[in-house]
Amino acid sequence: MAARVYITGAAGSGTSSLGRALAEHLGVPHLDTDDFFWAPTDPPYTERRPVEERLALIAAAQLAEGPEGGWVLSGSADGWGEMAINGAGLIVFLVTPMPVRLARIRRREGEKFGDRIRPGGDLFHNHSEFLKWAAAYDDPYFRGRSLQRHREWLAGRSEPVLELSGAQPVADLVKSCLARLGA
């Protein structure tokens, strides 16, 4: 069976970048949870797909290479995606300092949306709220996706968990994942 890896962490931690690079190296499809979680809308990221639809889309993508095929799933399936994660042979948990995460989010969203996220832009409010939400990840009392919630979830998993610093270069992260996979 080909490698099946789930990569998770905070927004801006580097899960998508590592997911793309690792999938390319392994020669398996890269699947990002955001592509399944959000319905295509303009403005983007405003309408959630129903859970059943998300899971059906992910399952179809995971089986695209056949029942023995591999995949790399990156992002957060927190609270809805257990079925998508089952079958992973490795969970990679990226822990990345908040300043690094927020800088990545600002850069990524600036490249993607340009003036739309600046004051007066139609996405300014959404972008500002997203940054506040992402910054709350380290707050142990935050009810959304948080470091504490991730650690509690990981403690209950039976799959091997590889915790890495998302501040490392992607090439180094890929090497660490490959070493753990024995690839």
Q: What is the rounded distance in angstroms from the CA atom of residue 114 to the CA atom of residue 123?
A: 10
What percent of the chain has pLDDT above 90? 87
Per the structure, the complete domain to which residue 43 belongs is given by: 4-96+143-181
- The total number of structural domains in the chain stands at 1
- Say if residue 183's pLDDT is above 80: no
**pLDDT (tens digit per residue) in 80-104:** 999 999 899 999 999 999 999 999 9
Tell me, yes or no, whether 130 lies in a domain: no
- Say if residue 65's pLDDT is above 90: no
**Cβ burial 53-79 (10 Å sphere, 16+ → b, else e):** ebbebbeebbeeeeeeebbbbbbbbee
Q: What is the pTM of this model?
A: 0.94
Tell me, yes or no, whether 152 lies in a domain: yes
Number of Cβ within a 10 Å radius of residue 137: 23
